[in-house]
Amino acid sequence: MNTQEIMQIALEMAGLKEIPGDSRIYVPGENIRRVLFGIDIGVAELWVAKQLGYDCVIAHHPPGGAFGFLEVLHWHVDQMVAYGVPREVAEAAYREIAEPWAARQHSANYDHVASFARLLEMPLLNVHAPCDLVGRRIMEEAVFSRLRPDSTVQDVVDALLTLPEFQRAPTRPEVRVGRPENPAGRVVIAHGNGSNGGYPVAKAYFDHGVNTVCYLHLDPAHAARLQREGKGNVVVMGHMAGDMVGINPFLRRLREAGLEVTGVSGAADLGIF
Ligand SMILES: [Fe+2]
Ligand SMILES: [Fe+2]
């Protein structure tokens, strides 16, 4: 198998036609049999892979700033609009969250990890949004199939806990804004859009009929501001566990295709199902 075929498997699983801006083949490779997969990959991890005889490294998070990242972050707008947020409000929320990302991207040493992969002649790719979109679908199925008109926010947490990744993780989905006993109301799984939408996206949802927003994680300052305003609930699902919900099916498919896959960096301690 080659790196393009590996990427293609992820795209097909997510229903994407093109490689999204937060995912990329940095160093292409052919005849791949042994894969090292980590949520975060740096230069040290590439060297470990080389030493241990792997012939490809796959990261989840973009190693060193993906220049198409904002394109994926903008998917928040589509999800908000699908939930009834007016497009101009959604775009304004996006602009607010995009600003710090754009600044970080501009200052990042974007080629650092990739340059070492080239030097080591180690095939390297990262698969981010495709896995997260698969994860969102699984979380939606787990939550929406169990939601009743009188469900509480705690019921949303309990529905997420039916997924093995959340059961096994030392982090548990928790109610970061609002209260567990509040009615869940309309729920959105705001995941698979590059990163969470922070205060601006949650506020846009709360102002337009959504009562409970589920993120993988949320900056404490953003959570405090939402808590002060008291308009809705935020469930934080847990970053590594939440990422693994979408990564595990991908790793399973790679194994079914005949690859030997070792999970590290968040993909090891939660197990591969
Ligand atoms: Fe992710
Ligand atoms: Fe992540």
Instruction: Please report the beta strands in the chain, taking only residues with DSSP state E, as ranges in sequence order.
Output: 24-27, 34-38, 56-59, 124-126, 174-177, 187-189, 212-215, 233-236, 260-264
Which ligand lies nearest to the CA atom of residue 130 in the structure? 1
Please write the tens of the pLDDT for every residue from 234-269: 999 999 999 999 999 999 999 999 999 999 999 985
Distance 224 CA to ligand 1 centre (A): 24
Q: What residue spans define the domains of the chain?
A: 3-69+100-128+244-260, 133-241
Tell me: pLDDT of 270 over 60.
no
Residue 197's Cβ-count burial label (10 Å; 0-12, 13-18, 19+) is buried
Distance 150 CA to ligand 2 centre (A): 32
Q: What is the pTM of this model?
A: 0.96
Domain spanning 133-241, CATH architecture: 3-Layer(aba) Sandwich (3.40)
143-197 pLDDT, tens per residue? 999 999 999 999 999 999 999 999 999 999 999 999 999 999 999 999 999 999 9
Closest listed ligand to the CA of 240: 2
Q: In the chain, what percentage of residues exceed pLDDT 70?
A: 98
* CATH number of the domain located at residue range(s) 3-69+100-128+244-260 in this protein: 3.40.1390.30
CA of 73 to the centre of ligand 2 (A): 13
* Mean pLDDT for the stretch of residues 208-228: 98
Ligand number nearest to the C-alpha of 40: 2
Distance from residue 127's CA to the centre of ligand 1 (Å): 9
Instruction: Give the pLDDT of residue 271.
Output: 52
pLDDT band with cut points at 50, 70 and 90 for residue 272: very low
CATH topology agreement for domains 3-69+100-128+244-260 and 133-241: yes
| Per-residue confidence (pLDDT) for residue 268, from 0 to 100 | 83
Distance 196 CA to ligand 1 centre (A): 10
